[in-house]
Amino acid sequence: MGISPLHARFIVLEHARRRLPETVHLMGRQTVMLTLDEAVALIKKCGVEPHYTLVEIDRKTRGAQAAASDFISDRTFFGLLGVRDVLAIDCSDYEGADLILDLNNAVPEALAGTLDFIFGGSVLDNIFDPATYLKNITRLLKPGGRLFEHDLITQHHHPYCLVTPAWFHDYFVMNKFAACALFVTEGAAGFTHVYALRPNADDFVSDLGPPRSGIAMGVTVIAEKGPQSTFEITPIQDQYRSDAGRIEYRNNLAAMVDGSHGFTFEKPTSAELCRLDVRISRSFRYLGVIRSAPAGEDAVPTLRSNSGLASGLHVLEATYGGNCIAHPPDRSAVSSIYRGNVTHIIASMANGTDRWQWRVDVATLGDPAPERGKDLEVYYVHSSDALQRLQRAYIPAEASGRDLLLQCNDT
């Protein structure tokens, strides 16, 4: 388990919003993936002055040993933020845990409501019973206590289970937490896109879309317990709520503070957007990028020859509803809008054929912008073209019900 530069940034931003307490509990000892100079630079970049603390190089956690780098310990990182005691909770004494607890089982009554700040570094995606874990860990918090939890929401890096942003959000709303900030991140080499959940009380939480090949997505939640907060309420998913349930959800959401205010990020460059375009969803607002390296100069991506191209058509990118990207949908949709959102669907039908014609069907592609006309744009190459020139097929809105033709155009 570890604290990446991405999550270190979130921790420092939360500290800038509301100072961390003197004692922090970690779910397992954490590998902080920063050297001392990198940590100090990050803290200052967020407008926080680092505290004097004992500098300890991490030689004990498995992640630090594998990296063979001078990463600072979790005690040093939090010490730079003025934290005095950094204690670890684990199901065994693995890597020197201070408190032994199996959060698959009920926590001892004596520990309920005793902790000020809990950091869960990718625990929920590696535990068998996520609901029990979340209820137990929030039960440990005292009123005013905060939970910082980050987990994977795509099948990368060996997760045990995956949950959606709405799963977290609905739990904290229905258990009357005082504040909650929820972020979704999607990373490319050198930078990560950041989105914040902005739910509408009278609409369901829309999807951000499926994972893009090879790119991990994560969720980060920072929730604050209030005097009236509970931990045992099990929410019902939005589209299945009763009328009374919808009223309760609306009232609880209205009373909850959005804790993400004040979290600011850099704007993406055009080169970054070419490499990884921004997703569009009614329930999520795009905040910007977090960079792990200086932004490179803008560049125009080029299509490289692929000598191993299979026979026939090869779809590189297919986008349905790209004409709606500049304007979020009027209401939530099951699928979402981003460049390449239907690539795998079109490719699964067209790849390998010599000539492919299809009557476009919104039921097959999914509807990312209900009640709006959506165009369809497909980029592809054909193996019979010796130069493997990039070809484009385009159908203006509304594309559904019209014919798409992909073939080798000898020009």
* Residue 271 pLDDT greater than 90, yes or no: no
Q: pTM of the predicted model, to two decimals?
A: 0.81
d(CA 231, CA 141): 10
Could you tell me whether strands 356-359 and 403-406 are parallel, antiparallel, or unpaired per DSSP bridges? antiparallel
Task: List, for residues 3-62, the tens digit of each pLDDT value.
Answer: 999 999 999 999 999 999 999 999 988 999 999 999 999 999 999 999 999 999 998 888
Domains of the chain: 2-258 (3.40.50), 313-406 (no CATH)
What is the band of 304 on the pLDDT scale with cuts at 50, 70, 90?
A: very low
Mean pLDDT to the nearest integer, 235-250: 95
Mean pLDDT to the nearest integer, 203-209: 87
Q: What is the pLDDT of residue 410?
A: 66
d(CA 400, CA 332): 19
Average pLDDT across the chain, whole number = 88
* Residue 298 pLDDT greater than 50, yes or no: no
Q: What is the pLDDT of residue 146?
A: 98
What is the band of 155 on the pLDDT scale with cuts at 50, 70, 90?
A: confident
Inter-axis angle of helices 36-45 and 5-17, nearest 10: 40
Q: What is the pLDDT of residue 252?
A: 96
* Residue 264 pLDDT greater than 70, yes or no: yes
Q: What is the pLDDT of residue 310?
A: 63
Q: What is the pLDDT of residue 276?
A: 83
Percent of the chain with pLDDT over 90: 59
Q: Are 28 and 124 in contact (CB under 8 A)?
A: no
Task: List, for residues 55-91, the tens digit of each pLDDT value.
Answer: 999 988 888 888 888 999 999 999 999 999 999 998 8
Task: List, for residues 340-391, the tens digit of each pLDDT value.
Answer: 889 888 988 888 888 999 999 998 888 888 889 999 999 999 988 878 889 9
Mean pLDDT to the nearest integer, 112-120: 96
d(CA 135, CA 112): 11
Tokens of 351: 């790849």
